[in-house]
Amino acid sequence: MPAIEQLVWGILLLPLISAAGITLFGLRRPRLAGVLSVGAAAGVAVLSLLVFTGTPFGEWWECSAEWLSVGELNVPVALRFDPLSLTMGLIVAWVSFVIHVYSLGYMRGDRGFGRYFAGLSLFLFSMLLIVLAGNLLVLFIGWELVGVSSYLLIGFWYQRPAAADASKKAFLLNRLGDFGFLVGLLLVWSKTGTVDISELECKLALDPGLLGSLATAAGLLIFCGVLGKSAQFPLHVWLPDAMEGPTPVSALIHAATMVAAGVYLLCRVFFLLALPGSAALELIAWVGAFTALLAAVIATQQDDIKRILAYSTLSQLGYMVMAVGASSVSQPPVAAMYHLSTHACFKALLFLGAGSVICAVHHEQNIWRMGALGKKMPVTFVTFLIAALALAGVPPLSGFFSKESILASVLESNVAARHALFAVAVAVAALTGFYMTRLVAVTFFGPERTQIAGQARESGMILTIPLLILAVPSAFAGFWGIDSAYASQFKGAAVEHAGVFGRIAAAFTHSPVATLWGLGAAIVGIVTGLAVYWNAATDRLPEKLGLVAGWARNRFYFDELYAALNEATHEFLSRLADGVDRWVISGIMVRGVHGSIELAGRLLRLTQTGNIQIHAVLLGAGIAILLLIVLRH
Amino acid sequence: MSGFSAIGLELAVVVGALAILMIGVCVSSERRSFLSYVAALFVGLVLLSSFLVSWPEKQAFFEGTYLVDGLALFFKRLFLVAAGFVLVMASGSSRETAIGVEFPVLVLIALAGMMFAASAGGFILLFVALELVTVTFYVLVAFARNTRRSLEAGVKFLIIGAVTSAFLVLGMAFVYGATGTMNFDELRVAPIDVGNKQLFDIGLVLVFVGVGFKLAAVPSQIWAPDVYEGAPAPVGAFLASGSKAVGLVLIVRVMNSTMLQGETLWAVLLAVSAVASILYGALCAIPQKDLKRLLGYSSIVTAGYLLIGLASGSEAGIGASLYYMTAYTFAALAVFTVVSIVFGASEPAEIVGLAGLYKRSPLLAVALTLSMISLAGIPPLAGFFGKFLLVKSAVGSAGLKTGLVVLIGVMVVGILISIYYYFGVIRAVYWVAPSKDGKSIIVTRSERVALIMLMVGLVWLGLFPGRLIRASSGAVGSIAPSRQAIAEVVKHDGERR
């Protein structure tokens, strides 16, 4: 495929050129920055579609360029195109294109307009590098780069202390996870001698015992990276704070793409996690389930519109991680990727809708200061409602299908306590319905609680058109056969459902128990939500639930716990470091080494007297010594 | 290819020098600065033409005294590049210090000498070409004749140069006495009587001392700090780039032709000199306050690194030295260009004077920073990759030889110390407030172009080293087959006996 091979480098290069171009020339020229960045995103979207359609269904190919080659040391930049990366790439490209356009409107007039788009382009480049990497090392480079661009964009309004702190927190927690990932990578490298994904897969397929007893360790170390990037418990605390960034950034990076990269990585190296004798998957499933439940409970008691969505994202990511954990060789993680794809669309739409709302009410984010926005902002309301229903899992919207397939896969998995896992999943589904109903009911219905809510007006075209575009996949992606695209990646057979009704019917016939439970949970959640929050002036839940609601409101005190822990360790470490620094490093090593070297330098400098006779004598002496040494050998 | 077309590049440079001398006479003294530009352009043209001619893979001319091979060509191109940048630098300085018409002419003549030296097929051409270079440099170093420092540097260079030349001639005589030939190809296979072996060894050590003078390697390093400090900046740049490379290519040639009889001798000699050069240069550089003097010591350290590559004896090691030489050339040219712009060609270059440079001229600050980082060997710049290749070749050939392990250890120590003094310069550029009279600095267009080219070179070589690695290993490979041939000859010899 020579023509396509030319195209794929364009996918990576366009955003990179845009990022470099804006940094060099566009920081003070907003128009140029916008054109470059949106142009690059549009180019990537078109190219990814071309490459997607140009690759025959279910096939895969690779292309690589040599970065450097010295003797036996070869470092190629390998890209891999298989159904997994192609579909994921397509979603990343299109969602980011839409959000790029939205950003043009949302960020208009900001002083850092150019800087914003440079960051966005850098992010797009690094995210595509992760998705297309055919080599774990290249993937890791992209992994670190998305961390950097996420840091830059969370702290975009760096004048606000909250944003600066949030970006630092996100970066540090991500680094913590990445360290584990790097160790895992080195472990795999040292055991198998390769970081190339295809080669690794071949080697492990030929000899599943290659990693030996370290299989679990390797899997869990790589999972550490996922803990950080996908914000799973116990590293989940950075994601809600990351909402300090501009809303389109929250939509793109902290909802649709970057945080999903963890799930993508798990699927990418699934063959490694699913090695016989590895217990990694079971633990992964429980970490995911716990995160999903925890975040869903917290989400019910948040008041900031973006934080509700952030906890919802956490919860859904936990759902996907749980789905990966519940998979096995015979039942590959198609459901997780399916949900990732639909979630990317409707969660991006929710965030963009929230952005539109926030703009309309003059940057107020507390939902209890809004209300009755549905009539004033019809486009935002309808698209937001579609996305919310999709998230709650109402048929025939896209979220219903992907959630159903996750529930089915959990129920059919061979994890020991699969019924407990399934119960958690159903509970999370009910909670999802509940908190989304709360969000919609309080924001768009009920009384106008403040004056600004009364004056709100629909946002301009540049904000609403992206909403409309994203509403299409949010509603209909369930009928596009995304799951069969992913299924062709793994050798598991995909069920072909024909037609709209065929698909809906298949959801019920394929695994009726899971579907009915899921649907029932969603209905229970929505009905409860309506009962509590329809026309509510204040939140009535705390009085009914008491302590639990208080805990949920305070995010189960994780931030405080971490802060205290951090302070204690920090205090101890700093005392230790101070002692070491003062006595060992500064006293003995630095002063000692520095002093002796400095002394040697000054002594040697005495030889340079500037006196030519002495120079000549030194030269002669040097030759004599040299002759002596050489001739004695 | 006939003999005269083989020396075409050198002839062109000499003719160019004479032409510029004659044009210069006819031009009024105010307008002479353009002569340097003309010379720089001319050098560029010669460089270009060297790529257009199809050179024989390996051929000897003039009864074996003149060689055309990959190694010679590699170094000739390096000399041409260095001379081009030096001339651009001189054109900028000539406005203030009236460097005059002779300067570009002398640079071109030294260049011709260097190019002849790269092709030396025997000791005779080696000596003659080396003297042509050295004598020209006596004049160049003392060129700012109204300053005492420059004159003093010239005299020191002259005297130490004369002493080392004497040793060189003596060494050549000893080698000739032991083998009966001055020609490198014949030297390779020349039988040596047991009684003459010591004479031969002493001869090689003395030749090393004489050629090492150009390289600034211990024990003939003593001139470098004084001369670098006193000479005008463009001359310092040429000393650090072209003149140093002459030392390298000649040691490679001599070593290659005496490897069979003197393998252990070379290993010991080079290792001892490398260790001494690195430690001496790095330690002495610490307390320096003058940037040009600092570069003199850094040049000694660099000589040590270059010798490490040779000491490993492998093709990869020699290739690594060639690579590092190129990387060093770019960095040194950039630093000297900045020095000549900031301080003027023949003024002292106090590091304190760089304070707040990034506010006075961001371009100069960035160029200086990049070259310092490259010299310190920090990725992803060219200097890092050069050091990486040197260490790699040393490790690759080390096996269990403890000597090379010591070498690598010393090299690491040298790198660590060097980070300290290179970053002292960077600190002055960014973190020290400029003095009150620190006005912004005017950089002419040609200087700007030259600096940008040098910076691109530093980054490019660091990020995409493949092409230069191929070129340098090709250059080394072009002298390698003859080694194989000799091995066969020796084997036949043994069988006959």
Separation between Cα atoms, residue B51 and residue B46, nearest integer Å: 9
Among A75-84, A426-435, A465-474, B168-177, the range scoring the smallest mean pLDDT is A75-84
Tokens of B4: 């005269």
pLDDT digits (tens, 9 = 90+) for B66-94: 999 999 999 999 999 999 999 998 887 65
Tokens of A351: 């965030």
In chain A, what is the straight-line distance between the N-terminal and C-terminal CA atoms, in Å? 62
- Mean pLDDT over residues A13-23, rounded? 84
pLDDT at A109 over 90: no
Establish if A70 touches chain B: CB-CB under 8 angstroms.
yes
Tokens of A606: 């005495």
Indicate the helix (H) or strand (E) that contains A611: none
Separation between Cα atoms, residue A293 and residue A550, nearest integer Å: 16
- Asked if B280 and B300 count as a contact pair (C-beta separation under 8 A), the reply is yes
Chain A residues within 8 A of B392 when measuring between CB atoms:
70-71
Tokens of B49: 């033409």
Contact B225 A616 (CB under 8 A): no
Residue contacts between A and B (CB atoms, under 8 Å): 91
Establish if A498 touches chain B: CB-CB under 8 angstroms.
no
Contact B286 A633 (CB under 8 A): no
- Judged by phi (left if over 0) then psi (alpha if -120 to 50, else beta), residue A517 lies in alpha
pLDDT digits (tens, 9 = 90+) for A423-464: 888 899 888 988 888 888 888 887 777 777 777 777 777 888
ipTM: 0.83
Separation between Cα atoms, residue B133 and residue B250, nearest integer Å: 13
- Mean pLDDT over residues A414-421, rounded? 80
pLDDT at A414 over 60: yes
Establish if A537 touches chain B: CB-CB under 8 angstroms.
no
Establish if A598 touches chain B: CB-CB under 8 angstroms.
yes
pLDDT at A1 over 50: no
HSE, side-chain direction, 13 A CA sphere, residue A71: 11
DSSP per-residue codes, B328-343:
HHHHHHHHHHHHHHHH
Chain A: residue whose CA lies nearest to B229: A610
- Mean pLDDT over residues A279-285, rounded? 85
For residue B350, the 8-state DSSP code is B
- At B263 the pLDDT is 80
Q: Would you tell me how many other CB atoms lie within 10 Å of the CB of residue A39?
A: 13
- Mean pLDDT over residues B308-314, rounded? 85
**Helix%, strand%, coil% for chain A, nearest 5:** 75, 5, 20
Chain B residues within 8 A of A627 when measuring between CB atoms:
202, 205
- At A602 the pLDDT is 74
Residue where the block lists tokens 């008491």:
A546
In chain B, what is the straight-line distance between the N-terminal and C-terminal CA atoms, in Å? 38
Nearest residue, CB atoms, A623 vs list B167, B198, B396: B167
Tokens of B155: 């005299």
Nearest residue, CB atoms, A627 vs list B202, B283, B464: B202
Separation between Cα atoms, residue A286 and residue A283, nearest integer Å: 5
A303, A398, B390, B397, B409 from B400: Cα distances, Å? 69, 65, 17, 9, 14
Q: Which amino acid is at B268?
A: V
A68 strand-pairing partners = A75
pLDDT at B400 over 50: no
Cis peptide before A76 (omega within 30 of 0): no
Tokens of A163: 């944003």
Residue where the block lists tokens 């490979």:
B477
Confidence of residue A202 (pLDDT cuts 50, 70, 90): confident
Contact A597 B223 (CB under 8 A): no
- At A73 the pLDDT is 58
The pTM (predicted TM-score) of the whole model is: 0.65
Give the closest residue to A177 by CA, choosing from A69, A25, A287: A287
Separation between Cα atoms, residue A290 and residue A305, nearest integer Å: 23
Longest dimension (CA), chain B: 81
- At A494 the pLDDT is 53
HSE, side-chain direction, 13 A CA sphere, residue A383: 28
- Mean pLDDT over residues A507-524, rounded? 81
Separation between Cα atoms, residue B252 and residue A309, nearest integer Å: 69
Establish if A604 touches chain B: CB-CB under 8 angstroms.
yes
- Asked if B135 and B113 count as a contact pair (C-beta separation under 8 A), the reply is no
> Where would I find the H helices in B180-290?
184-189, 197-215, 224-230, 233-238, 244-257, 263-285
Separation between Cα atoms, residue B292 and residue B349, nearest integer Å: 6
Give the closest residue to A262 by CA, choosing from A291, A233, A222: A222
A100, B230, B236, B294 from B227: Cα distances, Å? 59, 5, 8, 11
